[in-house]
Each structure stands twice: as C-alpha cells, then as structure tokens.
Amino acid sequence: MISLVKPYIAPAEEMMPAIQNILYSGYIAESEPVWDFEKQFGLFIDNKNTIVVNSGTAALHISLSILDIGPGDEVISTPMTSEPTNTTIALTGAKVVWGDVDPNTGLLDPRSVEEKINENTKAIMLVHYAGMVCDMNEFNMISKKYGIPIIEDAAHALGSRYKGKIIASNSRFTCFSFQAIKQMTTVDGGAIGFKNEDDVAVAKKLRWFGLDKSVSRMNNDITRAGYKYGMNNVTATIGQIQLKHTPEVLNKYIENGKYYDDKLKSVAGIHLVPYYEDTQPSYWLYTMKVENREDFCKMMEEKGIAASPLHHRSDTHSVFEESRCDLPNMDEWYSRFVHIPCGWWVGNEEREYIIDTIRKGW
C-alpha cells in the first residue's frame, strides 16, 4: 500500500549518536539544545521571533492566552481542520464561531468570516489546510479593517509561501506542528513565529509555568500562571538533525504536488483545487475534489494506493453544539474532497502508477 502519510526520520548513523549523547549528557530537560534548535528553526522560517514548544496545540494555546481570550469572547474559525485547532479555543472558555469555507478550496472564506464579526470577536483562526495557503490578501485587509488579530494554524503548512516568503511572520501568530506525520517531525513538538517581538518574552514565560528562564529560579516572581509547554533537549536534538534534511524532504512534496497539478488537470471526474493569488502550497496532503468519492477511494485501495478525506469536520462534535450553524459550502466541499499520497516516499515510479490508476477511472 502506498501510504497517505509517513514520517521521515533522518538516517540512523546521524540520529542515534546525537540522541545517545544527549540522553547521557546529564541535561535532558530544556537548555542549550532547545535554544539552539529554536534559533535554527527561526532561521529556516526567516523569523527570529520564534519559540519552540512541546506541541502544535501548545503553540495555539499560548497564542490565544497572549490575547487574553476567555469566556464571553468569540473566535472565528474553520470546521475544515484537525480537532486541536478548535478544541484549543474551547479550552479557553471562548465560543467557536464557524466561518464557511470556499467550496473550491476547503479553506476559510474571508467573506463568510467578515459577515460573522461582532463586538465579541477577539481573533480569527486560519488553517492552511493540507499545505494550501488561505486568501491572505483578503484576510490581511479584514484584520486591519476591524483590528482583529489573526492566528495562522500552519501545522500542515511548513514550507508554504505567501508573496514568495515562507509562512511564518505575516500575522501576529503563526503556529507550527512537529507531530509524528508532519513534513518535519521531532516525534512531537511545535513552534510559534511572532510578528511582534514584544510577544516573545510573554510567550516564553507562558510556556514554563510563568517563570522567566533568564532569571535565577530563586529570584523569580510569577505574575501570571503559565503552562508546562516547554520542549526538552531530546526532542530538540531530534529536531536539529531532522532540520538538516527538511529542505530536501519539502522539495519532494512540492515536486510531487506540482506533478499531480499538471497530470490530473484534464482527467474526467477530477476537480483540482485552485491556489489563491500570491500563495504557494507545500502539498503536505495532495487535495482535490472527485466525483463518487466512495467509489474512488475503494478503487484506489484495491490498487494498493491510500486515498481518504482523513479529517473529520470539527463542527459536528458535541463539544461545539452551541456553535452549530448552516455551512452549505462546507457541506458541498466535505462530500467530495479527498487526499492522495504526495510525500517524500512517493518516487517517480509510484506517482506515475497513481496517475495511471486514476486515469483508468472508477
């Protein structure tokens, strides 16, 4: 079976000595290896205002916490995402308000978002789903017009670009995930890229109980309670090794994605996703719409190729019952979208087989 997702792990001869050295160094919690990885990742995404944390969920929660979002507040978000995007909002006590999606892309529709803004709206949560980038030209205008900050959930979008620049510093917060199956994994972990340097110091305290790590613990004074969201040295060491291979791995995703864009554009029953102006996807999942999706997925499985919608729409969960509303575009999109294998493990022979299989019909 050609897998839909698969973690890339650097060669053992690089990874294992580094892990062994850190495990027996006497320093396995947060210290220099974490801070070094933080700097290296910041250079990779071209944003010096970057911190690393223990998960993408922690990155989202810290961002919401900096904005002091809580009960009585509203955050406009998308149902087309993995669960943590919206359960993290629920953790704050704020209400999730669903924006509808663009039925052509599955990404949050700025027109729907603008219609739902009111005096309780404290943030807009965007998701660059599957590595496709939202219509940031429109969302930037909305954010400026209403003075509402944007949190970009870029868990799927490492290497995606807006106006030629890697996604990381356009909005006040850009949150990344290094969870197991992402383009770059540290087994688990995450990061936040900040637009405002002032937010970095606040975030560093929030990730470690409210303590200031630049000051002796004996001289610390917690003024606001924080969380245990720090990364450890073992995870950071894995990250440093993985990051050396990330450009090559990302290029393989992008190369395969562009190949599919070209070879599938005239296939009957396939509707390709258009990409917004000034955006470039990183193709974490190759996403398209198909006619008769159930038959398509069954045919692909029979031919040894994984194909699936993968994600369950968030607005159907009971925890969001008070937020439910009509989302006709989401209904249309959700009934037809599907993913096919696109990652580093898909070589030329595999991708040609996938294209040939689809062209034969279902």
Q: Which of 233, 227, 235, 177 is nearest to 205 (CA)?
A: 227
Mean pLDDT of 287-305: 98
Q: Which residue bears the tokens 């002796």?
A: 216
- Element containing residue 257 per DSSP (H, E): helix 233-263
Mean pLDDT of 54-81: 98
Q: Tell me the pLDDT tens digit for each residue of 1-11.
A: 999 999 999 99
Distances (CA, A) of 12 to 250, 263, 294: 20, 36, 39
Beta-carbon contacts of residue 214 (< 8 Å; ≥ 6 apart): none
The number of beta carbons lying within 10 Å of the beta carbon of residue 135 is 22
**Token representation of residue 1:** 């079976």
- Whole-structure pTM value: 0.97
| pLDDT grade for 339, boundaries at 50, 70 and 90 | very high
Q: Using a CB cutoff of 8 Å and minimum separation of 24, what contacts does 34-41 make?
A: 34/230, 34/231, 34/232, 34/233, 34/236, 36/236, 36/240, 37/231, 37/236, 37/237, 37/239, 37/240, 37/243, 38/191, 38/236, 40/239, 40/240, 40/243, 41/191, 41/239, 41/243
Whether the CB-CB separation of 300 and 340 falls below 8 Å is answered with yes
Question: What is the pLDDT at residue 292?
Answer: 98
Whether the CB-CB separation of 98 and 325 falls below 8 Å is answered with yes
Mean pLDDT of 61-69: 98
Instruction: Using the predicted structure, report yes or no on whether residue 213 has a pLDDT greater than 90.
Output: no
Backbone angles phi, psi at 126, to 5 degrees: -100, 145
Instruction: Using the predicted structure, report yes or no on whether residue 215 has a pLDDT greater than 90.
Output: no
Active site residues: 182
Question: What is the pLDDT at residue 99?
Answer: 98
Task: Report how far apart the first and last C-alpha atoms of the chain are (Å, whole number).
Answer: 18
Whether the CB-CB separation of 289 and 309 falls below 8 Å is answered with no
Sheet of 121-127: strands edge to edge? 50-53, 190-194, 173-177, 150-153, 121-127, 74-77, 95-98
**Token representation of residue 160:** 């995606």
Q: Tell me the pLDDT tens digit for each residue of 119-160.
A: 999 999 999 999 999 999 999 999 999 999 999 999 999 999
How far is residue 120's CA from residue 143's CA, in Å, rounded to a whole number?
Answer: 15
Question: Please, what is the average pLDDT of the chain?
Answer: 97
Residue 125 is which amino acid?
M
Instruction: Using the predicted structure, report yes or no on whether residue 216 has a pLDDT greater than 90.
Output: no
Backbone CA torsion sign across 128, 6, 298, 264: positive
Mean pLDDT of 218-227: 94
Report the relative pairing of strands 337-340 and 173-177 from DSSP bridges: unpaired
Instruction: Using the predicted structure, report yes or no on whether residue 348 has a pLDDT greater than 90.
Output: yes
Strands (E), 113-247: 121-127, 150-153, 161-162, 165-166, 173-177, 190-194
**Token representation of residue 170:** 């356009």
**Token representation of residue 190:** 């995450």
Q: Tell me the pLDDT tens digit for each residue of 324-334.
A: 999 999 999 99
Q: Which of 75, 82, 31, 18 is nearest to 55 (CA)?
A: 82
Question: What is the pLDDT at residue 308?
Answer: 97
Whether the CB-CB separation of 123 and 149 falls below 8 Å is answered with yes
Question: What is the pLDDT at residue 214?
Answer: 85
Q: Tell me the pLDDT tens digit for each residue of 166-212.
A: 999 999 999 999 999 999 999 999 999 999 999 999 999 999 999 99
Whether the CB-CB separation of 46 and 166 falls below 8 Å is answered with yes
- Element containing residue 234 per DSSP (H, E): helix 233-263
